[in-house]
Structure 1
Amino acid sequence: MTFEGAAHGSVTVRAPGKINVALLVGRLMDDGYHDVATAYQAVSLFEDVRATPADDVSVSFAGPIATEDLPTGNDNLAVRAARLLARETGHDGGAHLHITKRVPVAGGMGGGSADAAATLVACDALWGTDCGRDDLLALGARLGADVPFALLGGTAIGTGRGDQLSPALSTGQFHWVLAVSDTGMSTPSTYRALDAHRERHSADISPASPAPTVPDDVMHALRSGDAVALGEALTNDLQAAALQLRPELGDTLELGEANGALAGIVSGSGPTIAFLVSDVESAIDLQVTLSAAGHRALRVTGPVPGARILEA
């Protein structure tokens, strides 16, 4: 897609959620952060942001998931994105952002990052600020590690904090079933649990690398479009910590893997569980099974494009 645009009366932009098909977490650094290596796949669960002219920046929500507890001030990532773009470009107006949310809140799928990415593209077009792709990617990186990927979509490798991106070749389409939780998880809490786990078991496990890399078997599976191979290669260093914080997620993983999933993985910092399946029929069967067990289950595919204008 093209990120440049001219001023409009209203602009609607769609951006995808993501699954981390691999997430390797480096050791805790002196600044309190971790370097990571991750393989992102954008999937067909989208956030839509409609931006209309206004004197200031404001936000409202709609969609199939609960949004009443979401912040509407500068704690909201989309609001911060609009204000950052205005400040950096010298634009003196604002925008009302109406967000149709479908990606689980605090679910490990980058919904807030998708909102921020869509907002950057929408406001750039609405205001005619004509930022190029590289400029928007740089602004996205200042907002959060997953925002640049939501701008690009597809499949990519992220290093550093996850925001240093390089495209990854991926062949074909992968089918996923998501088991979505009604209660989110705090990403910082999951990282703290990982650090505590590593400290407790330091005598039994190898020390974490300061600069992890995505395993070769993940890259080969993506390049070949081999769902079976990718299922065998799925990895997430945060999964053990997420399961410690939410033990019931282990039962969900076992249920899916016993009913047709090639493999299951905690998405990002959790609590969404992503099950990889072989085809659409298997996805439908697993969705029915999970739903019958009381889970909210969604079928998605990937990879899909990043933030793009739907209507202007």
Structure 2
Amino acid sequence: MRGAPKFSLLVLLLAMSFDRSLPTCAQAETALMASMRKAGEAKAALNSLAPLALVSPNGEPKGYLVEVTNLALEGMGAPKLSAVLTSWDSMIPGLQARHFDFVPAGLLITEARCKVVAFSAPITAQQDAMFVLPGNPKHVIGYAQVAQSPDLKLAVTTGSAQEAYAVKQGIKSDQLVRVPDIQAGIATVLGGRANAFAVGQFSVPKPREKGIEVVVDTQTPVRSVGIAFRKEDADFRDAFNNQLQLLRSNGAMKELYVVKYGFPNWDVLAKVTRTKDVEPACD
């Protein structure tokens, strides 16, 4: 009987060891994990979307999405991500063409995208906003108003969810000023070629310092960003989601979201834990 406590302790230690190694071992069998380990890096498509994701002048990937992704990859035993600068409209085609391993750049989870990629669980929560000149001289408050005012011009990023939503809301093509990235969208408003730039409410950090103001379109649905994987890498995505859940439960995601990056709506993100919560057609 004196050996029983030692035996129980040994069983407990073995169980803990097995549980910790299971995700990594399971992922070692996937094609994506094997490819990334062989390359010694996880190639990730990025553009400039501070503070979510961006590439510093020395080529270092940075931002909230990058940090969350690297924590999840570390938990899986996968290499850290390296940046592949990619235009927004080339991200999903490039992913499918295997130019990179996944997309943590800030793609919103939408029904259309869910048909062609496998998204992770949501990592952000936001509504769309109109970025306008100080004082909002044209009194732009949202998509519906732009649709009813043919004289208004709305800048949107090419291939973005905002572009698709604007068209769905009845905004005419000749009212849309399509731009390649966030900086170009801001410049379009400052230069008078558009009356507003539609993008996620947190996509432009410190807007007043850039000479613009933000007006949240409260009629838009809550949207979320997820990490996009190829459909055939859904098993890797599932293991990635397990790590995201750990980051939620241990407080690491909240620490990054609220404390380091200053997003104010953790209460909303806390309720959005599956792609189904933001887009019912997504699995």
Q: Which range, TM-score by smaller chain?
A: under 0.3
Of structures 1 and 2, the one scoring higher in RCO (CA 8 A, sep 6+) is: 1
The structure with the largest strand share of the pair is 1
TM-score (norm 2): 0.24
